[in-house]
Chain A
Amino acid sequence: MLDPKKRTQHTRGLGMQPEIRTEVPPASTETSADHPRDSRSNEVKSQRSSPAASSIRRVRKGQGNKLTAMLQVRNERGRYLEEVLDDLSEFVDEIVIVDDASTDGTPDICRSYPKVVRLEILEKPLFAEEWRLRNALWQAAVSTSPDWLLSVDADELYSPEAKEAIRNLINQEHADWIAFRFYDMWGGRTHYRDDELWSLHRGHTASLVRYMPDYPYFYPQQNHHVPRLPLSCSVLPGIRTDLKVQHLGWAGSLEDRVRKYLRYKRIDPNGEWGSLEHYESILDPEPRLVPWKEEH
């Protein structure tokens, strides 16, 4: 199999180090000029310690990546979950959901979507220990062998441009996360909020990450405002795009916003996990709103 006489004669010069810059032929090609065994050698004794290994899984794939969306949900009936799942079903391959002890039948909604390949229902809620909830979702998602994971909240909609671009974004071998611009839609879907405290869209939020099974993924062990992706993703190379995502969490009625304001004040009365000023701004009677434009 490794008869050197079958290989192309070549000279690597004095260094003859592994040619890092040269193309590598397929493993099955026995006339390899870049095979580590030097072609001029007449040695035929085997240098192997074991039979040829089977195909080695590559940590990154340039094509054929499976895209899996992962969501944590809780009492989503009557909100945006169905719209979000409809939307995701258009452009992802699979969906994994962890239901945080809903009491309104949210799991039934999830079950009705064929792309939901895994639904874990927690008996006791973990929302007071957010990192545990994030971790439970991560573990559920990676157990389905994804190539890429899209972390989606049950009130986020990817723009048509983002949905169109996402396959090209993941079918490459140089970046391990993708960031988007998230817009806080305010009091409807025609405007987003834009001021000092509401400026998520001015920066980038990573929500799409390559899953590499050997890499140590972990979330910071904090109870609130845990990042949607494991902290260890942040040190991998990534891509920041201008593709848009609508966050509908503030797009509902004033009553909805007041309810959320009261919930934040109850969970974090001293601003330990977030900014009190930010919480107060939820009730700003005259927020600065900018008309939403789909195209970018």
Chain B
Amino acid sequence: MDKPESIPEIVEETTPKEDNRELPPFRYILFPRKGGWSTFPYPDIAALLAAEGEVFYVSSQGRSDEMPPAISVVTLTEADVLLQQNRTAAVIAHPYWLTAVHSLHPKISIVLLPEPAGDEADSPLWESCISRLVGAADLIGTSSETRYMKLAFQGVRAVWLGGEDKAPAGSIHKNDLEIPLRDYELLFLHALRQTTAEAPDTITPLQCSMRADYYRQLRSKTGPHETISFLLAAYEYLLDDSRAAASLKEAFTHAIMNGRSDCVHSHYRFLSAIHAKAGEVESALQVYGISAGNEQERHHYEQLCRWLEAGEIELVQAELLRLNDDYGAALGILDALGGETARHWKFRIYRETGCVEDALALVHAADIQDRSSRRDYQELSGTAMALRGERHGAVRQFLEAAMENEEALARIVEMELLDHAVQQLLGEVP
């Protein structure tokens, strides 16, 4: 059996540019969900932040009794002032803070994604705000393993805030007090320190490795299983482990035996990503072709065949990775490839993954010559302006885009909805 990965000892993360020991502690500004402290989704992470530095909680209401004494309540205006200072990070715990927080231009943006409450998940605003939050975040924590895996595929710095092992994996000291930490808390702490020190991410692959170990052990206990084997394959894939293909085929076989009629798309197609990542582009393309379930996909398969025949191996490889949501690996290939086509494809990935500013930075004047492109550009510009807090500019862009397509007006409505949502998050309105 493989040796399980272990979490490294807690040491300060430093970069050659910076020596953290000479610097004051970070300030963390918490942007919570509505309902007061009792609804804060990750109180354990807040405690961790309090052990690392000063923590402020943004609310228009006074502090509640249950709030830990180490946390101070500040208004949104006070938070704005704090975020202008160095070594201050925004910690966003609800997606509807999106524009309100980004317009304050935090130097470091940490997102603690909550599980949706009530009918939140039904709103299209929920996922679109999460997408853009993630697109601009420096570190993301989530209690959903599905979400975590999606983030890992996206190539962002993420920590899954969950786990089966409840035993302490380490501890930190604060005011002569030893605070035990669970494994995911320890991982988050390392990720936090790497983020603030601008150090390379070693925690996402470490946690992926720990999850792969967990599912490998589970599989050895339960035997092959469509979900367990699939999750194992996904983590093995993220780790470039050559066992991913065998795990995936096992998952697919069991999905068939369990009568999952959609498993060609849900399971088998992922084999195309595994082959593509391993550089077996033609095999990857054939798997994609088999899984092409509608006219549009079959046409795209034909197109990819012709590109491959024309020798465009890296482009086909990047596209197959993108089709499997591995935006991170696809971007890596396109970055290395360079050139005009890669620029266009990177633009699409940035737009799909909510990286609005990155997408906008790739647009050249020659790209927006026709009306349709100009309208798209105006909408994208408006979205970027809204995030920067340039409201008038954003509204102007959306209105101009609406001259071509009234759907752009929805962006203005979205801005108003988020304004109202922030009032709720601050506790100003029910």
Contacts and interface: CB of A to CB of B under 8 A. Distances in A.
B293 to A, nearest CB: 7
A231 B256 contact: yes
A212 to B, nearest CB: 5
Nearest to A12: B344
Interface residues of B, number: 61
Could you tell me the dominant secondary structure of chain A's interface residues? loop
A49 B333 CA distance: 12
Interface stretch (A32-40, A113-121, A284-292): A32-40
Contacts of A216: 249, 252-253
B264 interface: yes
A58 B299 CA distance: 12
A214 B283 contact: yes
Could you tell me the dominant secondary structure of chain B's interface residues? helix
A48 interface: yes
Contacts of B299: 20-21, 24
A53 B308 contact: yes
Given A13-B372, A47-B337, A58-B305, A20 B289 contact: no
B347 A26 contact: no
Given A47-B338, A47-B339, A173-B298, A20 B303 contact: yes
A46 to B, nearest CB: 9
Interface string B288-325: 01100101101111110111111111110001000000
A26 B319 CA distance: 20
A273 interface: no
Contact of A18 (B319, B372, B374): B319
B340 A40 contact: yes
A173 B186 CA distance: 52
A53 B309 contact: yes
Contacts of A13: 367-368, 370, 372-373, 376
Nearest to A42: B340
Nearest to A231: B256
B279 to A, nearest CB: 10
Given A11-B373, A43-B339, A47-B338, A56 B309 contact: yes
**Interface residues on chain A, size class:** 35 or more
A26 B290 contact: no
A228 B369 CA distance: 58
Contact of B341 (A15, A21, A37, A174): A37
B369 A26 contact: no
A215 B290 contact: yes
B386 to A, nearest CB: 18
A56 B293 contact: no
B77 interface: no
Most chain B CB within 10 A, of A25, A215, A218, A220, is at A215
Contacts of B29: none
Contacts of B367: 13-14, 16
A48 B311 contact: yes
Contact of A59 (B290, B341, B374): B290
Nearest to B296: A20
Nearest to A220: B257
A14 B306 contact: no
A60 interface: yes
A197 B305 CA distance: 48
A234 B289 CA distance: 17
B306 A38 contact: no
Interface string B332-362: 0000011111101101100100000000000
B308 A59 contact: no
Contact of B293 (A18, A35, A237): A237
Given A14-B347, A18-B303, A231-B256, 5 more contacts: A14-B368, A27-B309, A41-B341, A48-B311, A235-B260
Interface of B: 249, 252-253, 256-257, 260-264, 282-283, 285-287, 289-290, 293, 295-296, 298-303, 305-315, 319, 337-342, 344-345, 347-348, 351, 363, 366-370, 372-374, 376-377, 380
10 contacts: A14-B363, A15-B344, A16-B347, A18-B319, A35-B310, A53-B311, A57-B286, A60-B298, A214-B286, A232-B252
